[in-house]
Amino acid sequence: DRNEGEVGYRQNLWLERTMKKYKDKVKILAMHHHLVAIPDTGSDQLTVVDAGDVLRTILDTGVDLVLCGHKHRPWVWNFGKLMVVNAGTATSERVRGLFENTYNIITIEDTKVTVDLKIVGGKRVPIDDIVNNYSQFGDE
């Protein structure tokens, strides 16, 4: 996406044409701004303004994984086979929520994509566990 937070018609058209060429491949898209808003991070003004158009293209062309990360908050949204994964931050002190410094480990085996969250200096967990075990107020 462009730095003003919009993919735009031409880039979205390019995305559609490009992804349709690779029917039997794992497809990964990286973007700086968020495609889908993330809980507990304040204003969602950092979501791309044309997110609906982009999400439709991504779903229609069989993208497997979208990587985002602007807000330093690990999170995942699952839309069928599509995973929209937001990265935390490995080095910044500006973490969001109850999270430590983290990075993502992406594994691709044949056509299966998995993403694990690695806490710097700590454990590695499936990123889905962050969502499944999440409590807004930190109570377990």
pLDDT tens, position by position, 48-95: 899 999 999 999 999 999 999 877 888 999 999 999 999 888 888 776
| CATH assignment at residue 79 | 3.60.21.10
In a domain, 126, yes or no: yes
Instruction: Give the domain extent around 123.
Output: 9-132
In a domain, 66, yes or no: yes
Query: Which one, of 27, 116, 104, 20, lies nearest residue 68 by Cα?
Result: 104
Report the side by side order of strands in the sheet with 82-86: 28-30, 65-68, 82-86, 75-79
Place of tokens 């349709």: 20
Place of tokens 């700590």: 122
Residues sharing a CB contact under 8 Å with residue 23, sequence separation 6 or more, in sequence order: 62
**pTM listed for this prediction:** 0.87
In a domain, 18, yes or no: yes
Q: Provide the pLDDT for residue 9.
A: 95
In a domain, 3, yes or no: no
Cα(82)–Cα(57) distance, rounded to whole angstroms?
12
In a domain, 1, yes or no: no
In a domain, 36, yes or no: yes
Cα(26)–Cα(119) distance, rounded to whole angstroms?
26
Domain count for the chain, please give it: 1
Place of tokens 């880039």: 11
Q: Provide the sign of the torsion angle of the four alpha carbons 126, 127, 133, 137, taken in this order.
A: positive
In a domain, 2, yes or no: no
Per-residue pLDDT band at 135 (split at 50, 70, 90): low
Q: Provide the pLDDT for residue 132.
A: 83
Residues sharing a CB contact under 8 Å with residue 14, sequence separation 6 or more, in sequence order: none
Cα(63)–Cα(40) distance, rounded to whole angstroms?
26
